[in-house]
């Protein structure tokens, strides 16, 4: 095995059923990149002591970076798609019915340990570096571990603010098997019905001016993932491999990147509503192009893009605390007079430590949990150890 193959094997995700879709990991890369840039910009805007004279020249860039929070929406569509796939195969292709016991057990064994590890570390460290005391931190930890922090406190986790989206993922995970039943309906009614639901939800959401961290405000993205799974398994008879479809992919890519990000609970105009209606469908349409068009598929399946995307869960869990720590050092210095060049250079400085921390977390915590039998193997090792 060559060095390149060894590195690829080391950083690849463990896929037990052999059904890895590298293009999806490439799309995860796009989502985590947008989230990363958004958070670098947030620290840069609110923590940097420097006042840049040319800041007004970069209003477009600043707004685009603020809109980088849309990366979370991209993740939600992927989650809806991945979770719906085995159910779509069963309902549309006659594959074996997915076991709900295995479905929920996989959540507990695959995603819970990294989340718990990250939360416990933040619980131990946060009171040491902030004014938060341990009793308050413990209450936040408990609320976060049961995915009810937003319900209890009305805000994101005090220990790890990005955890709000993971709470929504869990809420959808519980609800999803019921939603997947829509795939049993005839395609003639199923697909138009799903599209109408996606288009109609922003109108309903705009009536509820509650904090935007509830599943109600984001469920259309998960439903778009279900629609994508439907189209992926039971594909329309459309030639997606031609140049025209590649160009359509370019237009959809631009829409995903540059459509304004609208928080449905804060919509203030008809334009906001239309953007909110279009965005989930634009994401699903672009993903469909990536999954079916050779040009876009090859681009997002590129080895390093796919490998980094495969580590997105680890990156998502650790990047914000790492950014918070290193920014305190970086902001002691000013490297450029220009806002644009300073932001670009600061971003470059942030990438190595964030990636290093993410890789370590991935290899030590997340990757071992990808083996669905790791609890049994660990129990056997512990039993052997104590039986000596």
Which tokens sit at 253?
């890519």
Q: At what angle do helices 22-47 and 303-310 cross, to 10 degrees?
A: 70
* Residue 5 confidence class, pLDDT cut points 50, 70, 90: low
Nearest Cα to 77, choosing from 257, 253, 249, 288?
288
Residue 251 region by backbone torsions, left for phi larger than 0, else alpha for psi between -120 and 50, else beta: alpha
d(CA 373, CA 361): 20
List the chain domain ranges: 3-387
Q: From CA 178, how far away is CA 287, in angstroms rounded?
A: 24
Which residue do the tokens 């406190």 mark?
153
For residue range 149-206, list pLDDT tens digits in order: 999 998 899 999 999 999 999 999 999 999 999 999 998 899 999 999 999 998 888 7
Q: What percent of the chain has pLDDT over 90?
A: 71
Local confidence band at 254 (pLDDT 50, 70, 90 cut-offs):
very high
Give yes or no for a contact between 74 and 256, defined as CB atoms under 8 angstroms apart: yes
Q: Pick from 154, 126, 156, 158: which is nearest to 139 by CA?
A: 158
pLDDT single digits (tens) 53-67: 899 999 999 999 999
């Amino acid at each position: 095995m060559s060095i390149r193959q060894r590195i690829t094997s080391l950083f690849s995700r463990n896929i037990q059923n052999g059904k890895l879709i590298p293009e999806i990991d490439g799309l995860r890369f796009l989502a985590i990149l947008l989230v990363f840039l958004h958070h670098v910009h947030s620290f840069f805007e609110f923590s940097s002591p420097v006042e840049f004279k040319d800041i007004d020249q970069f209003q477009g860039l600043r707004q685009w970076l603020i809109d980088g929070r849309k990366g979370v929406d991209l993740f939600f569509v992927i989650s809806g798609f991945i979770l719906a796939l085995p159910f779509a195969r069963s309902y549309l292709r006659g594959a074996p019915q997915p076991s709900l016991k295995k479905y929920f057990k996989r959540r507990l064994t695959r995603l819970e340990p990294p989340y718990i590890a990250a939360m416990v570390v933040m619980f131990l460290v946060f009171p040491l570096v902030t004014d938060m005391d341990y009793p308050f931190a413990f209450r936040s930890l408990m609320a976060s571990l049961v995915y009810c922090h937003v319900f209890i406190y009305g805000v994101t986790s005090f220990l790890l603010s990005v955890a709000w989206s993971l709470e929504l993922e869990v809420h959808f995970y519980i609800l999803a098997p019921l939603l997947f039943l829509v795939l049993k309906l005839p395609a003639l009614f199923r697909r138009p019905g799903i599209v109408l639901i996606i288009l109609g939800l922003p109108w309903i959401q705009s009536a509820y001016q509650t904090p935007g961290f509830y599943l109600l405000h984001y469920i259309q993205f998960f439903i778009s993932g279900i629609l994508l799974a439907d189209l992926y398994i039971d594909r329309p008879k459309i030639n997606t491999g031609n140049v025209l479809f590649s160009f359509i992919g370019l237009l959809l890519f631009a829409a995903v990147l540059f459509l304004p990000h609208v928080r449905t609970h804060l919509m203030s105009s008809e334009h906001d509503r239309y953007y909110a209606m279009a965005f989930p469908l634009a994401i699903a349409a672009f993903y469909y192009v990536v999954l079916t068009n050779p040009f876009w598929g090859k681009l997002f399946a590129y080895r390093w893009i796919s490998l980094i995307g495969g580590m997105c869960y680890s990156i998502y869990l650790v990047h914000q605390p790492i950014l918070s720590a290193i920014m305190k050092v970086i902001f002691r210095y000013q490297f450029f007079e220009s806002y644009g060049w300073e932001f670009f250079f600061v971003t470059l400085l942030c990438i190595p430590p964030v990636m290093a921390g993410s890789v370590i977390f991935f290899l030590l915590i997340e990757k071992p949990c990808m083996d669905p039998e790791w609890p049994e193997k660990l129990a056997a090792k512990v039993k052997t150890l104590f039986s000596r």
